[in-house]
């Protein structure tokens, strides 16, 4: 098992399949994009499959989420999903995507064994979407969402990040849209993980502010006990339920104490936290001929050294060198 010195066990593996993307969300990367990782540095499909197998068969991983960058840009994605879903014990297999290309891929991915998707959508206003993501792709995202639902990748979850002065008015329309279409909406507080280091506390809409905006239009009632376990989202029943909305207060309501996640970057580095400043290089070890036992031991050691929390509120907080798109959100 992957246990750290605070007694937390990592069972949820997030795998970045590429650092590339076809959007340029302001909170993630600059309009001109980034210097993408050179192909030889990326794990091959077989290398991804080997590390995921190790995680599931030997290290207690029960949930595998593919992300990026934009994971649908990875040509081998359906095959990677198929190989993951064939593992024993079978993990839950999910995907976080911006939805572009999902219209075509939702069916094949569901057939390959994908269980669920999270689609990121920050605005329903085409002009606002374009301003935020620097690409005029809202219709593709909406088509992708509908295709995911039709393919049975349910519940379809929608992730939204609100930025002051850009899309802060979108909270209510996004919730109405998700209620109308049977999608589960979750708002995520903006974190200091953008490549251009443009995050400011004032620019971020806090969980409290988001709940106040929603509360003015909908009746919100906490869903279940106050204890949210390892689930980062605090969920609320909307207008008496059964529909729900979630708010992930990554900055103002951190859930580090119950974190069960570990990450594998597209170039084969294990990270024990989004905000980790150190990584463990499984790719080079693997390419130098490491055995499964040796790789598993490296992975365990990387998780063992996980810190208690991300410390965004601490004056000594340091933003990690890698941006979110290279870590895998």
Q: Which stretch binds ligand SF4 (CB under 6 A): 62-70, 199-207, 238-246, 300-308?
A: 62-70
Q: Which stretch binds ligand SAM (CB under 6 A): 30-38, 147-155, 189-197, 210-218?
A: 189-197
Residue corresponding to tokens 């969300």: 25
Q: Which stretch binds ligand SF4 (CB under 6 A): 23-31, 123-131, 273-281, 298-306?
A: 23-31
Cα angle vertex 99, ends 98, 102, to 5°? Answer: 145
Kindly state whether residue 280 participates in binding ligand SAM, applying the rule CB under 6 A. no
- Contact present, 92 and 116 (Cβ < 8 Å): yes
Kindly state whether residue 272 participates in binding ligand SAM, applying the rule CB under 6 A. no
Kindly state whether residue 167 participates in binding ligand SAM, applying the rule CB under 6 A. no
Kindly state whether residue 329 participates in binding ligand SAM, applying the rule CB under 6 A. yes
Nearer to ligand SAM, 11 or 97 (CB): 97
Kindly state whether residue 70 participates in binding ligand SAM, applying the rule CB under 6 A. yes
Chosen residue from 98, 123, 184, 265 binding ligand SAM by CB under 6 A: 98
- Contact present, 109 and 74 (Cβ < 8 Å): no
For the bound state, the minimum distance from the C-beta of residue 165 to ligand SF4, rounded and expressed in Å, comes to 18
User: HEC states along 244-274?
Assistant: EEEEECCCCCCCHHHCCEEEECCCCEEECCC
Cβ neighbors of 303 (< 8 A, separation 6 or more) are: 2, 3, 4, 10, 262, 270, 272
CA 296 remoteness from chain centre: 24
Residue corresponding to tokens 């941006």: 323
Residue with smallest beta-carbon separation from ligand SAM? 329
Q: Where along the sequence are the contacts to ligand SAM (CB under 6 A)?
A: 21, 27-28, 67-68, 70, 96-98, 120, 159, 161, 188, 190-191, 193-194, 324-325, 329
Q: Where along the sequence are the contacts to ligand SF4 (CB under 6 A)?
A: 21, 23-25, 28-29, 68-70, 98, 120, 325
């Amino acid at each position: 098992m992957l246990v750290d010195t605070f007694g937390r066990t990592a069972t949820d593996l997030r795998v970045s399949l590429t650092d590339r993307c076809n959007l340029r969300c302001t909170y993630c990367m600059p309009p001109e994009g980034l210097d993408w990782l050179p192909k030889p540095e990326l794990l091959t499909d077989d290398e991804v499959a080997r590390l995921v197998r190790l995680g599931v068969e030997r290290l207690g991983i029960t949930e595998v989420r593919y992300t990026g960058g934009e994971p649908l840009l990875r040509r081998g994605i359906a095959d990677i999903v198929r190989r993951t879903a064939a593992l024993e014990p079978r993990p839950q297999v999910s995907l976080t995507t911006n939805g572009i290309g999902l219209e075509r891929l939702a069916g094949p991915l569901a057939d390959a064994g994908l269980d669920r998707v999270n689609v990121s959508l920050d605005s329903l206003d085409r002009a606002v979407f374009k301003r935020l993501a620097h690409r005029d792709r809202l219709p593709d995202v909406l088509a992708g969402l509908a295709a995911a639902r039709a393919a049975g990748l349910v519940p379809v979850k929608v992730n939204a990040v609100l930025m002051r002065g850009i899309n802060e008015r979108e909270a209510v329309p996004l919730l109405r849209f998700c209620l109308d279409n049977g999608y589960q909406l979750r708002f995520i507080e903006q974190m200091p993980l953008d490549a251009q280091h443009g995050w400011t506390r004032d620019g971020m809409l806090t969980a409290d502010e988001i709940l106040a905006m929603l509360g003015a239009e909908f009746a919100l009632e906490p869903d279940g006990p106050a204890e949210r376990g390892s689930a980062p989202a605090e969920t609320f029943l909307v207008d008496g339920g059964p529909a729900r909305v979630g708010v992930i207060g990554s900055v103002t309501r951190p859930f580090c104490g119950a974190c069960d996640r570990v990450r594998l970057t597209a170039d084969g580095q294990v990270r024990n936290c989004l905000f980790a400043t150190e990584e463990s290089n499984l790719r080079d070890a693997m390419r130098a001929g490491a055995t499964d036992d040796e790789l598993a031991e490296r992975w365990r050691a990387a998780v063992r050294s996980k810190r208690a929390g991300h410390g965004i509120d601490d004056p000594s907080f340091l933003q990690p060198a890698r941006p979110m798109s290279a870590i895998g959100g």
